[in-house]
């Protein structure tokens, strides 16, 4: 099972597009995060799992691979939490993936599932419009 969601990374005063790809497959339960993430991004695994659990969603005991593409762009901050959570839900069949192709998702998740603000939202919205995305959360 796979899913993808659109996010972005602020570099200076501009945002660069990032695609969050999720693959749920066979193997020992766990979560691998690849794509040049810095510490705050690596910690998103813990925030996302806690937030989903607090909202009543339990992930099946499967192996999850999260890829933040492009791999050569250093990912910083907690802005990927929402995109990772929604892509995980879509890959596990808990939400319909039909609008993910045209939606930018950016935001930090609290451990209770509340959405927190992130920096650089205006730059992310400008990038989203230029890439043809029609909505943002």
Q: What does the pLDDT look like over 73-98, one tens digit per residue? A: 999 999 999 999 999 999 999 988 88
Tokens of 77: 């901050």
The beta-strand segments (E) located in 12-136 are: 14-25, 30-34, 63-69, 103-104, 108-109, 115-116, 135-136
pLDDT tens digit sequence for 114-136:
999 999 999 999 999 999 999 99
Q: What percent of the chain has pLDDT over 90?
A: 91
With a CB cutoff of 8 Å and minimum separation 6, the contacts of 64 are: 22, 23, 24, 25, 30, 31, 32, 88, 91
| Confidence (pLDDT) at 96 | 84
pLDDT tens digit sequence for 36-51:
999 989 999 999 999 9
Tokens of 37: 């993430």
């Amino acid at each position: 099972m796979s899913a993808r969601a659109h996010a972005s990374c602020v570099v200076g005063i501009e945002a660069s597009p990032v695609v969050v790809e999720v693959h749920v497959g066979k193997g020992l339960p766990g979560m691998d995060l690849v794509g040049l993430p810095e510490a705050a991004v690596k910690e998103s695994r813990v925030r996302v799992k806690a937030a989903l659990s607090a909202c009543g969603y339990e992930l099946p005991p499967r192996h999850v691979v999260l890829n933040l593409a492009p791999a050569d762009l250093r990912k910083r901050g907690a802005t990927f939490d929402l995109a990772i959570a929604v892509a995980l839900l879509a890959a596990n069949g808990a939400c319909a993936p039909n609008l993910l192709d045209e939606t930018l998702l950016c935001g930090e998740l609290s451990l209770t599932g509340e959405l927190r603000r992130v920096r650089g939202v205006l730059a992310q919205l400008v990038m989203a419009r230029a890439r043809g995305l029609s909505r943002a959360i």
